[in-house]
Amino acid sequence: MADREARNILSIRGMCKSFGRNRVLDHINFDVREGTIMGLMGENGAGKSTMMKCLFGTYQKDEGTILLDGKEVNFSGPKDALENGVAMVHQELNQCLERNVLDNLFLGRYPKNSMGIVDENRMRNEASDLFRKLNMTVNLTVPMKTMSVSARQMVEIAKAISYNAKLIVLDEPTSSLTVREVAKLFEMMRNLKAQGISLVYISHKMDEIFEICDQVSVLRDGKLVLTRRTADTNMNELIAAMVGRTLDNRFPPVDNTPGDVVLSVQHLSTKYEPNLKDISFDVREGEIFGLYGLVGAGRSELLETMFGVRTRAAGRVYYKGRLMNFNSSKDAMDHGFAMITEERKATGLFLEGDLTFNTTITNLTHYMSGVALSRDKMVKATANQINIMHTKCMGPSDSITALSGGNQQKVIFGKWLERDPSVFLMDEPTRGIDVGAKYEIYELIIKMAKMGKAIIVVSSEMPEILGITNRIGVMSNGRLAGIVNTAQTNQEELLTLSTKYL
Ligand SMILES: Nc1ncnc2c1ncn2[C@@H]1O[C@H](COP(=O)(O)OP(=O)(O)OP(=O)(O)O)[C@@H](O)[C@H]1O
Ligand SMILES: [Mg+2]
């Protein structure tokens, strides 16, 4: 077995880290045995990413020691860490989207030939070898921006592996991967482990932790509160450790009563891949309508087309009998539509702004005092949203980049709530959000439904789509394969429908 008397490849002792007055890590002790996979869990803002960034040299710890393979290390930055056997795949990808895969792979370490010129052939060969070994097909010369989030994530993982690291940290790597890609990633991880490489695996997904990790540690409010072999623990124990109490149900009761049809989508089609083919469905007032399907089935495209950011080839959308064929997101927003996008960093947030800016930006006319914007009103509204969403932060003037990934997502929610939309389109609204906060978001979705909003939720998580919707439309290869009543369906039926047109 992997964890027989193995040495610790990593030993963190008494590590502390604060940002200003905010103590994020409080005397952490954390060990990873050689050739094992250590899971790391905890609520949004618990300190998981910060702890690993202190190891990686992105942040400097305030106190404590880090032993790598028995020797004390103190990396001055990521480059230092990479050169000494530690690699990290970050939660929020930081790639040069304008450059191609090769450039991103070799950034900062271009191989040179004897003339001191960048050796492109060598780059190409090494990269091809790498992807072949990982059993991945990637076009090396296309710009990253043309690739899907999941493909970009796989490139990032390949890059970490290419450094021949002894220890690889993966910070929520599967949040945008398909089931098949996750399986591939796990196979890769098992291979690495078999070679004696150690991994730290950060995830909010319980089933993944139990599937792939030998051990698991839980952080709560900057303290390491539990470490167990995965074989010796269970989901309830981990949840209790994370949230400090037991959660009896993962989903609140869906007790809204949908009214008349308000939203009607008729024969919607698009031209470009993956194209929508003749999609028709209705959503009632106060209804939560789920959209299930495999990645690539066209769910995001459907929301984007309804929201006016993707071009229609044919079809119509009506709300309360009025035509809503939008040609821009502004048009959609002006008519009471809201959309939470899948890729929060790219399309949901202004990273230079503070919480107040990000919460109020889509709604500025609300905060006028006479002819001028009232910062006071904006801050008040933001404080209110922080309250409703239980966003973990110091206050409305925090910069958005100071928030943990999951808490950034809550800010996006708060921003849209401020606009009080009548139609709310949500693309994977709880991606990257911890179990406790997920429950709060579910409650919020149900509350909005009870206020009469029409809600469409795209989710790839089967329990979620079955747990919080009234009806579910299943998409398959750009078509609507069927619509089912949530109370009368099951996982099998959804899966069968999702493969109907493959
Ligand atoms: N650069 C920074 N400046 C100020 N505060 C920060 C910074 N980075 C993180 N924090 C704060 O540290 C705390 C821990 O954040 P961290 O990103 O480590 O959480 P996490 O456990 O990774 O959460 P998530 O699951 O949401 O990714 C949060 O309260 C966050 O606001
Ligand atoms: Mg994080």
CA–CA gap between residue 439 and residue 445 (Å, rounded): 10
pLDDT score at 426: 95
- For residue 247, what pLDDT is reported? 63
- Ligand 1, closest atom to CA 46? 21
Q: Which two tokens stand for residue 274?
A: 């993956």
Q: Is residue 241 within 8 Å of residue 220, measured between CB atoms?
A: yes
Q: Side chain identity at 280, as an amino acid letter?
A: S
**156-171 residue pLDDT tens:** 888 888 888 899 999 9
For residues 104 and 215, the model is more confident at 215
- Closest residue by CA, ligand 1 atom 29: 45
Give pLDDT, residue 313.
Answer: 93
Length of the chain: 502
Q: Quickly state the pLDDT bin for 183 (edges 50, 70, 90).
A: confident
- Mean pLDDT along residues 232-238: 91
CATH class of 261-498: alpha beta
Tell me the average pLDDT across 54-73.
Answer: 96
**Residue scoring higher pLDDT (139 or 73):** 73
Alpha-carbon distances, residue 322 vs 270, 311, 313 (angstroms)? 21, 19, 19
Q: Cα–Cα distance between 488 and 266 in angstroms, integer?
A: 25
| Mean pLDDT score, 62-75 | 96
Domain residue spans of the chain? 8-243, 261-498
Q: Which of 303, 289, 294, 219 is nearest to 43 (CA)?
A: 219
pTM for the full predicted model = 0.72
The answer to whether domain 8-243 and domain 261-498 are alike in fold is: yes
Residue of minimum CA distance from atom 10 in ligand 1: 402
Position 324 pLDDT exceeds 90: yes
Query: Which residue would you say has higher pLDDT here, 14 or 134?
Result: 14
Where does the pLDDT of residue 86 fall: very low under 50, low under 70, confident under 90, or very high at 90 and above?
Answer: very high
The pocket around ligand 1, CB under 6 angstroms, is made up of 19, 22, 24, 42, 44-50, 91, 392-393, 402-407, 434
Residue nearest to atom 24 of ligand 1 (CA): 44
Neighbours of 27 (CB within 10 A): 14
What does the pLDDT read at residue 2?
46
Q: Which two tokens stand for residue 425?
A: 């389109």
Name the residue among 48, 26, 28 with its Cα closest to residue 39: 48
The rounded distance, in Å, linking the Cα atoms of 460 and 495 is 11
Nearest atom in ligand 1 to 91's CA: 27
Q: What is the mean pLDDT of residues 410-434?
A: 89
Instruction: Output the CATH code of domain 8-243.
Output: 3.40.50.300
Nearest CA to ligand 1 atom 30: 403
* Distance between CA atoms of residues 432 and 409, nearest Å: 8
108, 48, 104, 106: which is closest to 77 by C-alpha?
Answer: 108
Instruction: Write the residue with the smallest CA distance to atom 8 of ligand 1.
Output: 402
Atom of ligand 1 nearest to the CA of 434: 25
Has residue 111 got a pLDDT over 80? no
* Among candidate residues 82, 75, 94, the one with its CA nearest the CA of residue 156: 94
The 10s digit of each residue's pLDDT in 430-472 is 887 887 778 888 998 999 999 999 999 999 888 899 999 999 9
201 Cα: distance to centroid of ligand 2 (angstroms) = 11
pLDDT of 422 reads 96
CA of 51 to the centre of ligand 1 (A): 9
Average pLDDT, the chain: 89
Nearest CA to ligand 1 atom 28: 45
Express each pLDDT in 252-266 by its tens digit. Answer: 999 999 999 999 999
Q: Which residue has the higher pLDDT, 196 or 3?
A: 196
pLDDT for res 435: 78
Band of the pLDDT at 345, cuts 50, 70, 90? low
The residue among 351 and 338 whose pLDDT is bigger is 338
Higher pLDDT, 297 or 4: 297
Nearest ligand atom owner, CA of 433: 1
Question: Going by DSSP bridges, is the β-strand pair 37-41/215-220 parallel, antiparallel, or unpaired?
Answer: parallel
CA of 395 from ligand 1 middle (Å) equals 14
Q: Which of 185-189, 284-288, 328-332 has the lowest mean pLDDT?
A: 185-189
Query: What is the model's pLDDT at position 245?
Result: 66
Of all protein residues, whose CA lies closest to atom 31 belonging to ligand 1? 403
Residue 3 pLDDT grade (very low, low, confident, very high; cuts 50, 70, 90): very low
Tell how far the Cα of 49 is from the centroid of ligand 1, in angstroms: 7
Q: Per-residue pLDDT averaged across 387-408, rounded?
A: 88
Mean pLDDT of 388-416: 87
Q: Do residues 436 and 247 lie in contact, with contact meaning Cβ atoms separated by under 8 Å?
A: yes
Residue with tokens 């009234």: 470
pLDDT at 43: 86
Ligand nearest to the CA of 391: 1
- Spatial CB neighbours of 393, under 8 Å, sequence gap ≥ 6: 355, 386, 402, 403, 407
Please choose from 24, 61, 201 the residue to mutate so as to test ligand 1's pocket, defined by most ligand atoms within 8 A of CB. Answer: 24
Please give the pLDDT value at position 427.
Answer: 93
Tell how far the Cα of 454 is from the centroid of ligand 2, in angstroms: 31
* % pLDDT > 90, the chain: 53
pLDDT score at 1: 47
Test site for ligand 1: of 54, 92, 242, 403, most ligand atoms within 8 A of the Cβ: 403
Q: Which atom of ligand 1 is nearest to the CA of 50?
A: 18
Residue of 49, 55, 351, 389 to mutate, ligand 1, most atoms within 8 A of C-beta: 49
307 or 367, greater pLDDT: 307
Average pLDDT over residues 234-241: 88
What percent of the chain clears pLDDT 70, i.e. is strictly above it? 97
Return the half-sphere exposure (C-beta side, CA atoms, 13 A cut-off) of residue 246: 5
Closest residue by CA, ligand 1 atom 3: 402
Residue having the nearest C-alpha atom to atom 19 of ligand 1? 45
Q: Which atom of ligand 1 is nearest to the CA of 403?
A: 31
Higher-scoring residue by pLDDT: 273, 211: 211
Span 219-224, average pLDDT: 92
For ligand 2, the distance from its centroid to the CA atom of residue 47, given in whole angstroms, is: 7
